[in-house]
Amino acid sequence: QVLLVESGGGLVQPGGSLKLACAASGSIFRFVAMGWYRQAPGKQRELVARITSGGTPDYADSVKGRFTISRDNTKNTLYLQMNSLKPEDTAVYYCNQVGSWWNWGQGTQVTVSS
């Protein structure tokens, strides 16, 4: 089973930026599509960005043009650069495979507020 550890969240003002990181144990990371998910209070978890094993990204409409997903397969690490943050981006952010999920990590809290 792969362990996932997310980091980089925090409190930021609207319009600000954050960069999240997800460290994955196990070399299988480099062979699978990965995604960043988020869950806001009272809402279902949603996929906001995903990236193939080869590095092709895709985004939910709500974050397109503001978020950038990337990966470093040599470090088994997934990243999410978040710019122009909005209050509605406030959520706990998680990483995981796309499709067949591993156990979820603890997530990292992102709060966008003035």
Q: Region 10-31: what's the mean pLDDT?
A: 96
Question: What value does the mean pLDDT take over residues 34-40?
Answer: 98
Q: Looking at residue 33, what is its pLDDT?
A: 97
Burial class (CB in 10 A: 0-12, 13-18, 19+), 69: buried
What is the pLDDT at residue 100?
A: 87
pLDDT digits (tens, 9 = 90+) for 77-87: 999 999 999 99
**pLDDT confidence bin for 32, thresholds 50/70/90:** very high
26 pLDDT exceeds 90? no
Q: State the Cα–Cα distance between residues 67 and 74, nearest whole angstrom.
A: 22
Q: In what order do the strands lie in the sheet with 46-51?
A: 10-12, 108-112, 91-97, 34-39, 46-51, 57-59
What is the structure's pLDDT at 27? 85
Calculate mean pLDDT across residues 39-43. Answer: 95
Amino acid of residue 26: G
| 44-57 tens-digit pLDDT | 999 999 999 999 99
- With a pLDDT cut of 90, the percent of the chain lying above it is 96
Please answer whether residues 71 and 34 qualify as being in contact, where contact means their C-beta atoms are separated by less than 8 angstroms: yes
∠ CA 28-37-3 to the nearest 5 degrees? 35
Per-residue tokens: 77: 């690490």
Q: What does the pLDDT average to over 60-72?
A: 98
Mean pLDDT of the chain, nearest integer: 96
